[in-house]
Structure formats: C-alpha cells, structure tokens
Amino acid sequence: MSFLRRQRAGIPDEPKRTGPTTPGAMLFTLRSVPRHYHEFKDAIESTGEATVYFGEALAYIRGKGISLFRVEATGTDFVDKLYERWRELEWNEAFRFDVTLYVHNTEFVDSLRGYTPEQAKELIRSKAPTYDPSEHEQPARR
C-alpha cells in the first residue's frame, strides 16, 4: 500500500515569532477551513496593517480540522481583502464555509458570515483586546 503514502513531506509553515510585538495592536484569532490556509493568510497580511504572528494550516479542535490564525492588527482594512478572497474561494468550491472570530484565542465571538465587511470591522474593533507589552513582560533572569 505504498502508493497511499505521501512521496515527500510538506514544508512546515514556521512562525516568524511567537507572540505579538506591536503595542496597541488588536489581538484576535480567526478560524476557517484548512484547505485555504495560505490564501487567507495572504489576504490578512495584504495591507500591512495585520500580521499573522502564529498560524496553523491544520489544527484539530474537538475533532474538527481547522486552520488557525492568531492576528495582531493596527487597522482593519485587511477585512475587505479577506472578504473578497472568501467570496472567490466559495465561488470556486462546491461548499460554503465560515470564517469565525475569537478573542483570547478560545472565546467565540461570532461567525463573520452574514456581516458586511464594515460590520465585521466594527465587530473586531469592539471585541478585540489590545496588546499591552507591560502585561506580557518576562521577569529578569539572574
């Protein structure tokens, strides 16, 4: 049954850093289907106002495969590109899928389906906490 095995391993998507770095940036998590990880990541980072500081192309939460994007954003203009890309992907696929918003990585806020891009921007602005480096300082080593 060797024909069922992958011939070569996929290239891992290594995070550039392990946490947010921009003081005052909004912090939130987006989750969607694993199939379109790179397209969504590119859309999120397209304007330069948002960065995926941690992402997983395939994560399992309660047995469900998802893609995970932990985002720090100084603005919300990327939402227009995200919605545009989402529409294109759904048009080309045979099924609909959601993009869901979480804060503090695990607290569900809402699915972005049914919201206009402007409403989604306001939802992110109102619900996402901001990064305060003083709350995340490492204790000095001796």
CATH classification for the domain delimited by 24-130, as one of 3.40.50.970, 3.20.20.140, 3.40.50.300, 3.30.70.260:
3.30.70.260
SS (H, E, C) the chain: CHHHCCCCCCCCCCCCCCCCCCCCCEEEEEEECHHHHHHHHHHHCCCCCEEEEEEEEEEEECCEEEEEEEEEECCCCHHHHHHHHHHHHHHHCCCCCCCEEEECCCEEEEECCCCCHHHHHHHHHHHCCECCHHHHCCCCCC
pTM assigned to the model: 0.81
Query: Tens-digit pLDDT profile for the chain (142 aa)?
Result: 555 555 555 555 565 556 788 888 999 999 999 989 999 999 999 999 999 999 999 999 888 899 999 999 999 999 999 999 999 998 988 788 999 999 998 999 999 999 999 999 999 999 999 988 877 555 444 4
Residue spans per domain, the chain: 24-130
